Amino acid sequence: MPVSGEWFVPNELTFSAIHVRAKTEWVHLSLGDSGGNVGQGEITATQLDRDVAPVVARLANRLRGRRITDDTDVLTLNNLSVEQLEADRNLAAAVSGLRCAVADALSRLLQVPMVDYLRELYDHPGRAERKVQLYSNINRSMLPDDNGLVDRSPDSFAEMDQRAMEAGFTTAKCAPFDEARAPFKSSGLPREAEMGLNRIRATKAIVGPDRKLLVDCHSRFDLESALALEPELREAGVGWYEEPVDPIKFPDDLREIRNKAELPIAGAEHGYGIGLFTVLMDDDVLDVVMPDVKFCGGPVEAYLIGRELEARWEGSVSMHCPSGPLSLLASAHATAAFGNKIPLEHAVYEVDWRHEVLEPFEQIEGGFLTLPDGHGLGGRVDPVAVAMRGRSWTE
Ligand SMILES: [Mg+2]
């Protein structure tokens, strides 16, 4: 079935936010036409310095009443360059959310699931898997909740990972280096990294030798301390070394770390566009790039990144996904479409009602997400969940 030739004429934009825990809310946009067709995207601002909704509203104004045939129309109708998007994360988030909503609406109009839309759009042969393997990231479950701080002792990390391992995940991730932040007073391995290493050791004891433990450093180190930390992580049985320094801001430092490291180096969760991710791989900065559907340009761009880079470097793309169920669903469509070699990130145990945010419910079992049968994303933010736990508005 041809997947081009359809168009979408948006004339309505609404936003919704669902209170998750502490300061976190999952924020979504819905772009609709006069026939009741709606596409959605997530614009949760957990890693942004301000609210993205006003930026989305400004960009969506240029789409209003136009025949949209392709998600990149969001860029062309707003005269946006890739350079602008690489330089401005809020803008990249707004564009990514809109591109997701447009791709959702177009694949719904074409009556195909987004995973098939992505492959057919780019003549990708064969049928994609409907189940996507996930890895469990406990990070968001260990952040403050509505009652305040959560216990971040090594035992508490281990307990949370035990829950994930019992649920069937075979790869875990944590971000344990709360106390560390470069620059450090002493040279070599910073003393401030020791508590993080204790959390890792306690967690790895639960994860065991046959399952993987990935470690995210949230760019808390510098060149020297990152080099000193790498053998310690290896000794503790860690499976990858994520962002000891920011790969987009300090690619030369990260290249040097990667050259000397034995562990695979992962990162670039804030990057926009296939060009940037290709350069990071071509320049030997990273072993694994982590495009986030909320920043990288949305599911179509994520699919293109995965398809292109996996063909050149097998096992080089693992989507970053610390957000709500709509982002995970869009990421799962893209990941299934390019045929992932590494599991997709899933922020586990942030709230126990998470699955109820989508209609139909998010379906995760035994460490796998099952894509719903419907068209487009196949799931949408349930207005009942918004009424119960949040608010909706127009800009
Ligand atoms: Mg990360």
Q: How far is the CA of 159 from the centre of ligand 1 (A)?
A: 21
Same domain, 242 and 347: yes
* 26 within a domain of the structure (yes/no): yes
* 36 within a domain of the structure (yes/no): yes
Nearest in space to 268 (alpha carbons), one of 244, 243, 301, 304: 243
Nearest in space to 370 (alpha carbons), one of 395, 342, 336: 336
Q: How far is the CA of 222 from the centre of ligand 1 (A)?
A: 16
Distance CA 148, CA 140 (A): 13
Residue 325 confidence (pLDDT): 98
Same domain, 106 and 147: no
Residue 51 confidence (pLDDT): 86
Q: How far is the CA of 139 from the centre of ligand 1 (A)?
A: 10
Same domain, 59 and 192: no
Residue 137 confidence (pLDDT): 98
Residue 50 confidence (pLDDT): 76
What CATH number corresponds to the domain at position 81?
3.30.390.10
Residue 2 confidence (pLDDT): 57
Same domain, 100 and 143: no
* 3 within a domain of the structure (yes/no): no
Structure token pair of residue 182: 């470069």
Nearest in space to 271 (alpha carbons), one of 91, 92, 56: 92
Q: Other CB atoms closer than 10 Å to residue 359's CB: what's the count? A: 15
* 368 within a domain of the structure (yes/no): yes
Same domain, 246 and 209: yes
| Cβ-contact 150, 143 below 8 angstroms | yes
Residue 119 confidence (pLDDT): 96
Q: How far is the CA of 267 from the centre of ligand 1 (A)?
A: 6
Residue 48 confidence (pLDDT): 67
Distance CA 22, CA 234 (A): 34
Residue 5 confidence (pLDDT): 75
Distance CA 371, CA 369 (A): 6
Q: How far is the CA of 348 from the centre of ligand 1 (A)?
A: 14
* 6 within a domain of the structure (yes/no): no
* 335 within a domain of the structure (yes/no): yes
Beta bridge partners of 40: 30
Nearest in space to 104 (alpha carbons), one of 27, 42, 192: 42
Same domain, 135 and 190: yes
Q: Is 83 exposed, middle or buried (0-12, 13-18, 19+ CB in 10 A)?
A: exposed
| Cβ-contact 11, 64 below 8 angstroms | yes
Residue type, 327: S
Per-residue model confidence as pLDDT tens for the chain (395 residues): 556 778 999 999 999 999 999 989 999 999 999 999 999 999 998 766 678 999 999 999 999 999 999 999 999 999 999 999 999 999 999 999 999 999 999 999 999 999 999 999 999 999 999 999 999 999 999 999 999 999 999 999 999 999 999 999 999 999 999 999 999 998 999 999 999 999 999 999 999 999 999 999 999 999 999 999 999 999 999 999 999 999 999 999 999 999 999 999 999 999 999 999 999 999 999 999 999 999 999 999 999 999 999 999 999 999 999 999 999 999 999 999 999 999 999 999 999 999 999 999 999 999 999 999 999 999 999 999 999 999 999 98
What CATH number corresponds to the domain at position 192?
3.20.20.120
Same domain, 161 and 283: yes
Q: How far is the CA of 216 from the centre of ligand 1 (A)?
A: 5
Distance CA 46, CA 202 (A): 28
Helices (H), 236-295: 251-260, 273-282
Distance CA 324, CA 326 (A): 6
Same domain, 77 and 222: no
Q: How far is the CA of 48 from the centre of ligand 1 (A)?
A: 14
287 phi, psi to nearest 5 deg? -95, -30
Residue 379 confidence (pLDDT): 98
Same domain, 66 and 97: yes
* 382 within a domain of the structure (yes/no): no
Same domain, 246 and 216: yes
Q: Is 223 exposed, middle or buried (0-12, 13-18, 19+ CB in 10 A)?
A: middle
Same domain, 248 and 295: yes
Beta bridge partners of 289: 267, 317
* 7 within a domain of the structure (yes/no): no
Q: Other CB atoms closer than 10 Å to residue 105's CB: what's the count? A: 27
Q: How far is the CA of 298 from the centre of ligand 1 (A)?
A: 18
Same domain, 77 and 162: no
In the chain, the number of structural domains is: 2
Range of the domain at 219: 131-377
